[in-house]
Amino acid sequence: MQLAKGIAAPNSLTGKVTITLAAAVLIAIGAKIQVPFWPVPMTLQTLAVLIIGAALGPRLGLAAMGAYMAAGLAGLPVFAGSPERGVGLAYLAGPTTGFLIGMALSMLVTGALAQGRGLGMRALAMGLGTVAIYVPGLIWLSAFVPADKLIAVGVMPFLLGDIVKIGVGAMLLEAANRLRR
């Protein structure tokens, strides 16, 4: 099975489980790393999600996101802002749950569109994967924020950072592919 251009999927069940768990750990690490940015600090969680989806494809990407969510539901402080903003179900009662659901959807979108493709298509896949994060995120956020402020609160502060992450993610995947050749 060919995933991102030049990346082959592991063949054994053990290999698939290992890469899935490693990817879940990368998502958790990304959620904890804050980079000073304008207008708001950004985490590297969505960068991890986009790269994992593009590199591993929709199935393994979704499995990694599922493992990450299961760890968070079990009470491990893997989510951005946890344990300060709660853990487990307490965290998921907050305004960011829709974005986590969107990250799972992004794994499917990004993974399906980026498989075996070149730099431009991977960047486009990551862009559409970012839209897939925003849609359920905004729907969920609408329970916490008035409709007339939804885009200003849920999109605009993060848009520039997301554009940067798409560019960085596409370049990192391209660099990884060139190293494999």
Query: What stretch of H or E contains 35?
Result: strand 34-35
Question: Is the distance from CB of 7 to CB of 55 less than 8 angstroms?
Answer: yes
**H/E run at residue 155:** none
Tell me the domains of the chain and their CATH numbers.
Answer: 13-180 (1.10.1760.20)
Q: pLDDT tens digits for 81-114?
A: 899 988 999 999 999 999 999 999 999 999 999 9
According to the model, what pLDDT value does residue 71 have?
Answer: 97
Amino acid letter, residue 147: A
Q: Token match 């660099």: residue?
A: 175
Nearest CA-CA partner of 56 in 97, 24, 79:
24
Among 4, 1, 20, which residue's Cα sits nearest to residue 180? 4
Question: Tell me: the pLDDT tens digits for 14-54?
Answer: 999 999 999 999 999 999 999 988 888 899 999 999 999 99
Cβ(64)–Cβ(107) below 8 Å: yes
**Angle of CA points 143, 163, 53, to nearest 5°:** 80
